[in-house]
Amino acid sequence: MRRYLRALVFAWSIVLLIRPAMVDSTPASATSAHVTLGAAAPWNIQQEYPSPIDSLGGVSCPSTSDCWAVGGGAVVATTDGGSTWTRQTLPKEVVVDSISCASTSDCMAVGYHRLAGLDQGVVTGTTDGGSTWTRQHFPFFSSQPILGVSCPSTSDCWAINRGWVYATTDFGTTWTRQRVVARLRGLSCANTSDCWVAGGQYIAATTDGGSTWTRQNGCGHCTPHGFSCPSASDCWTLLGGTVLATTDGGTIWRKQPLPSGAMNLEGISCPSTSDCWAFGGGNVVATTTDGGSTWTAKTLPIGVSDMSCASTSDCWAVGGANVAATTDAGATWTPQTLPSGEVLEGVSCTNTSDCLAVGYTELNDGPVGAFVVSTVDDGSTWTVQTPPSGIPSLSGVSCVSTSDCWAFGGANIVVSTTDLGSTWTDHTLPIGVSDISCASTSDCWAVGSEGVVATTDGGTTWTAQTLATGVALESVSCASTSDCLASGYNGSGGVVVSTTDGGSSWTQQTPPGASHYLEEVTCASASDCWAFGRGFSNFFHSVPRGVVVATTDGGSSWTQQTLPPGSRDLGGNSASCISTSHCWVVGGGHILATTDGGSTWTTQMSLVEMPAATKSISCTSPSRCWVVGDGLADALILHTA
């Protein structure tokens, strides 16, 4: 069971098709679900791809063959001891981090539900082994996540958040709650009558199913973490480098020292009154086989966030994107393979029908190959294309026609396609690539921290072009085969360089705000360009704010434009300008837009409204934009009705 809430790491990858209802009368395709973002029309799911599993924080194993693991918006299960793990589907927008399974059919998972950017405590359950997970009626509003759950039977469960203990005797149909102790951090129920909670500076116990709770003087003014009670008499909890244990139901609690190296532990799992495992996020754990008289440190092959033992021999540990198991009481631990998932990083569209999106497939916390999808029908269908071989990941793409695109992944390898992703050709460049822009099917420029290179023969040859010393480039945009503008930074701050002769010479320009870091540039014409990034209000202001500067004369002069209040860091994300008046930028939890060349910028969607952290945008008309990014549970393709 999770003992504390970790920071959320989003785990969706999505494509959003922005189609304002007032200008778009195209009928929506058949969809399976939708979410509503602010005043915009509903966003219907066109396609779903599984996202990577990268934040497992809870595991429960009711038998030596059946286990469930949860984290973020993911739940995975095994029925064969971990030889194979499969995904199961949670309700939309549900994030769970703790799970308890009373049988191989009945599990309850808790966490929070994200609705319009607001987090509410949530409980979800299954009675069919995870074939279906249902969000349960929880009558108590909680702006905090539900942190832990313990189910000693298929009907009786207890759950906690920071200040309350919740109980059900009918597997979530009805709930009651009690204020026991503040800042709860641990919960364990030995049976349907006997439960313990830990939090604040107290331990509290019930022996009558929660009708009454009694505070126990386990550790004086301390802060216990985690709880595991294999019987009504025997319990263990943690105090950083010390274990507290009782063998008489809590009348007396005794300290048990942990071995050196096994410190700052915050979770514990005891399959019997003799055998326990203590863990705390790292890969060093502590174990005892004699009720805590002696504890031994062991090193596991993964960092451990939670552990569950179906017997004294069979245990599973989870953490991050990893799971490991032992069948010999911990003598050996074997990593097991979780299902892979997809991440989308970049998108490029050449008209209202044709788009290519790229990213990577991730397995066990690492990219294992490029992932490419395309559409030729305005997103009604998205087709998974055969990715280029030997490329672990792709982070961006630039399409110059409905069939010709270039993609890159950060190293010095770029790939090109002339058939919208059906086949690919590799190109080795003399620099690492952070962005690429093509003005024609033959003429492209690539930039990176080592400079700029160009091709005029479709990538057969690449030639380095000369920049000022110390300039590292992040982004490039070429309005023609002669005119390009690139942004980046040097030792003093943000810089912009431009060429009007295809790169024979590059001129360094001086945008306003010397301390700004300009990491994205886009040009609607050879004269009209925008650069986006981040800056700080003053020396003492540590939170970056969004910055946009614009030129209407090819960079001879620049003007800083005003963004809406609260606009955050726009560095490292994406912008798209389809004309000298219409531009969009994504980043910092916002989608911002202008229809007057930047005189006014408005927030189309904010962090509160969005289901995802946006990464890339491509617009083809005032009513058509695609966005890719990270969300909660699946790789999705969405569009408005």
- Provide the phi-psi class of 64: left if phi over 0, else alpha when psi is between -120 and 50, else beta: alpha
**Helix and strand totals (H; E) in the chain:** 0, 58
CB 46 within 8 A of CB 637: yes
Confidence at residue 514, expressed as pLDDT on a 0 to 100 scale: 54
CB 528 within 8 A of CB 552: yes
Please give the Cα distance from 412 to 193 (Å, whole number). 63
Q: Supply 420's token pair.
A: 């919208």
The pLDDT of 628-641, averaged and rounded, is 58
Report the chain's terminal Cα–Cα distance, integer Å. Answer: 41
Confidence at residue 624, expressed as pLDDT on a 0 to 100 scale: 80
Please give the Cα distance from 634 to 49 (Å, whole number). 6
H/E stretch holding 375: strand 367-375
The pLDDT of 155-176, averaged and rounded, is 91
Domains in the chain: boundaries? 341-640
Tens-digit pLDDT profile for residues 14-58: 455 544 333 332 323 333 344 433 334 333 555 667 778 878 999
CB 476 within 8 A of CB 435: yes
**pLDDT > 50? residue 149:** yes
Out of 297-306, 538-547, 579-588, give the one with best mean pLDDT: 297-306
Q: Strand 583-587 to strand 634-640: parallel, antiparallel, or no bridges (unpaired)?
A: unpaired
- The string of DSSP letters for 545-586 reads EEEEEEESSTTSS-EEPPPPTT-B--TTSEEEESSSS-EEEE
Please give the Cα distance from 209 to 190 (Å, whole number). 11
Average pLDDT of the chain, as a whole number: 83
What SS3 string covers 394-435?
CCEEEECCCCCEEEECCCCEEEEECCCCCCCEEEECCCCCCE
**222: Cβ–Cβ under 8 A, 6 or more apart, which residues?**
201, 239
**pLDDT > 70? residue 520:** yes
Give which of 292, 254, 257 is closest to 273, Cα–Cα.
Answer: 292
Residue with the larger pLDDT of the pair 620 and 505: 505
CB 448 within 8 A of CB 464: no
Give which of 69, 76, 53, 58 is closest to 5, Cα–Cα.
Answer: 58
- Which residue has tokens 């969300």? 631
> Which residues partner with 216 through β-bridges?
203
Please give the Cα distance from 74 to 89 (Å, whole number). 8
CB 240 within 8 A of CB 263: yes
CB 306 within 8 A of CB 1: yes
Out of 197-201, 317-321, 542-546, give the one with best mean pLDDT: 317-321
CB 447 within 8 A of CB 435: yes
The pLDDT of 107-112, averaged and rounded, is 93
Angle subtended at Cα 293 by Cα 288 and Cα 296, rounded to the nearest 5 degrees = 40
Confidence at residue 389, expressed as pLDDT on a 0 to 100 scale: 85
Per CATH, domain 341-640 is 3.60.70.12 = no
**pLDDT > 70? residue 259:** yes
Q: Strand 634-640 to strand 184-189: parallel, antiparallel, or no bridges (unpaired)?
A: unpaired
Q: Which amino acid is at 157?
A: C
The 3-state DSSP class for residue 115 equals strand
DSSP state of 292: T
Confidence at residue 512, expressed as pLDDT on a 0 to 100 scale: 80
DSSP state of 240: B
- Other residues' Cβ atoms within 10 Å of the Cβ of residue 529: 28
How far is Cα of residue 16 from the mean position of the Cα atoms in its chain?
17
**pLDDT > 70? residue 397:** yes
H/E stretch holding 440: none
Q: Strand 634-640 to strand 13-18: parallel, antiparallel, or no bridges (unpaired)?
A: parallel
